[in-house]
A and B are shown apart, each in its own frame.
Chain A
Amino acid sequence: EAQVTQNPRYLITVTGKKLTVTCSQNMNHEYMSWYRQDPGLGLRQIYYSMNVEVTDKGDVPEGYKVSRKEKRNFPLILESPSPNQTSLYFCASSSRDYSNQPQHFGDGTRLSIL
């Protein structure tokens, strides 16, 4: 089954404790992206990757890091999480023909930073 898998689905943690949200896709997609969803602000892109070893900032990259060492994986790293990073996070992927291909989303990760 074609899917984007995020882990964990839920996490409650404390300020400053490094965490990683994993994302893996099995569709051989080149393009992968992270979004955060906040009430009243909608979904905003954090980082994206057009291919292996190619990553770049989205709209709200501050406080986040990513890496793309393999095509299928695109982890999101919070080196020193803060309460303003409490949000619902989505990983998404799509194939090379960017504009007309839907991005397939993972089921989301609810992060609470206390």
Chain B
Amino acid sequence: AQKITQTQPGMFVQEKEAVTLDCTYDTSDPSYGLFWYKQPSSGEMIFLIYQGSYDQQNATEGRYSLNFQKARKSANLVISASQLGDSAMYFCAMRERAGRRALTFGSGTRLQVQP
């Protein structure tokens, strides 16, 4: 079974608007972390934001916020005031405390910001 599901292969958003990228996950480990990474066309993986399974509040980092709904097992990324430089692939990933502690990635969402 897929551990991380990103159902939006591609998204378009107008510059200065907000956009939500969806992510659902599946785990039986009570302790886990959820991460979002950005991969621009140049290829590097850039860490954006983290949410822990025990965190009571949604994480925020500048224009990025994570809408964490634990009961629904969703961890959606919200980008406010989109900029042209936000055009990239976005990956949701999970890291469980048990086992080999690898990052398990979703298939990604390609976001294109239009002027």
CB contact between A107 and one of B44, B95, B103, B106 (< 8 Å): that residue: B44
Contact of A48 with B102 in the complex, beta carbons under 8 Å: yes
Q: How many A-B Cβ pairs are below 8 Å?
A: 64
Contact of B103 with A99 in the complex, beta carbons under 8 Å: no
In the complex, B47 has a CB within 8 A of chain A: yes
Tell me which residues across on chain B come within 8 A of A104, comparing CB atoms.
Answer: 47
In the complex, B32 has a CB within 8 A of chain A: yes
Tell me which residues across on chain B come within 8 A of A31, comparing CB atoms.
Answer: 101
- What 0/1 readout, one digit per residue, does chain A (29-73) give for beta carbons within 8 Å of chain B? 001010100001011010010100000101100000000000000
Chain B contributes a number of interface residues (CB within 8 A of A) equal to 25
Chain A contributes a number of interface residues (CB within 8 A of B) equal to 27
Contact of A98 with B95 in the complex, beta carbons under 8 Å: yes
Contacts A42-B107, A98-B97 hold; do A105 and B45 have CB atoms under 8 A apart?
yes
Tell me which residues across on chain A come within 8 A of B43, comparing CB atoms.
Answer: 88, 107-108, 110
Q: Complex Cα distance A98/B31, Å? A: 10
Question: Which of B32, B45, B91, B96 is packed against the most chain A CB atoms within 10 Å?
Answer: B45
The 9 closest A-B pairs by CB, nearest first: A105-B45, A99-B97, A45-B102, A98-B101, A102-B47, A43-B105, A107-B44, A99-B33, A108-B43
Residues of chain A touching chain B, judged by Cβ–Cβ distance below 8 Å, are 31, 33, 35, 40, 42-43, 45, 48, 50, 56, 58-59, 88, 90, 92, 98-108, 110
